[in-house]
A = this chain, B = another copy of it.
Amino acid sequence: MIDLAMKKWWTIMTDENRRIVRRKEKSVKELAEGILDNNRALLAQAITLIESNASKHFEKGQNLINEILPQTGKSVRIGITGVPGAGKSTFIEAFGSYLCDHGHRVAVLAVDPSSSLSGGSILGDKTRMDQLSRNPQAFVRPSPASGTLGGVARKTRETILLCEAAGYDVIIVETVGVGQSEVAVRSMVDVFLLLALTGAGDELQGMKKGIMELVDILIINKADGDNEQKALKAKEEYSKILHFLTPVTKGWESKALTCSALLGKGIEEAWKTIDHFVATTQKVGSFSERRNIQRKDWFYALIKDELETAFFSDEIVKGHLPKLERQVIEGNVPASLGARKIFDLYATQKRRIGHDQSY
């Protein structure tokens, strides 16, 4: 009877639920050892832990990060964005495969804050990077599907650390370029690539504002067939524009290249340019300086997150804020006074809670 009930129960379960039942929850130690051992299943499980929004998983995730921290940082972190249709997936597939063939181990991550709304856009469909996903030297992971950019960014930053501990020495972080996602990715990588197409003049108008200022290396893709001459011309035009901009990386003048991801042309040059970028910036010190600043900025951004989360999830604040906000918007209460008022309510109540908890 029991077996029959079990069987029936098993049959009506979804595939997803079955996977959860099958998977025993690993300890921090088991996960850390698995990651250092390059156990892909445990790496994936650790990333799922980091991506969890459950507060009970936060501490465990942080303990894991703390555990593997000494084994992190030894990779080149590459950010990639591109205008729509520039062929990001094809480029990453060709570029990643080239690196795997040359002894590297490549992890491909993504920051796509829109994926939770649209139901997954970039990398949601792994088959887009079919060849690379099946390469034993590569690890392809879709964007964490969680609301805010800040949340997605935190998860991706910590996933970079996990992948580094697992021995991946090239980490590629792709972004679709929704909202501020490029700025978020720029703040977690060493070098930032923009994939563009020919026709700099026209294309520039469609290009996202401010994007050229974030770029270390601009690559004009689809430099093949009839398009090759146009691509070379575009490269010159872009070079001129880049020359006018203040370089985003100290000691490095942003460069324009061409490639054909489809034919595998220019892929080696792209890697050599990145290699040259790393060597140059390590020499002048801006490589480690940037990483230090990134860690510092991230630390302070997280502190502010903590402060705001505590404040805006507070019951007293939630009770008074809507009315006060309305009064400020309607111009009946000055903004400064309103802000001071709600903050005082919050601070006073915190002290009252302290009193209640002490006795």
Contact = CB atoms under 8 A, between A and B. Distances in A.
A130 interface: no
Nearest to A302: B339
A66 interface: yes
B335 A302 contact: yes
A322 to B, nearest CB: 12
Q: Copy number in this complex?
A: 2
Interface residues of A, number: 58
A346 B342 CA distance: 19
A336 B72 contact: no
A339 B244 contact: no
Interface stretch (A9-17, A115-123, A230-238, A351-359): A351-359
A6 interface: no
Interface stretch (A87-95, A96-104, A292-300): A292-300
Contacts of A298: 335
24 contacts: A66-B333, A69-B331, A69-B332, A69-B333, A72-B331, A157-B335, A161-B334, A292-B329, A299-B325, A299-B328, A299-B335, A302-B335, A302-B340, A303-B342, A303-B343, A304-B304, A304-B307, A307-B307, A350-B354, A351-B353, A351-B354, A353-B354, A354-B355, A355-B357
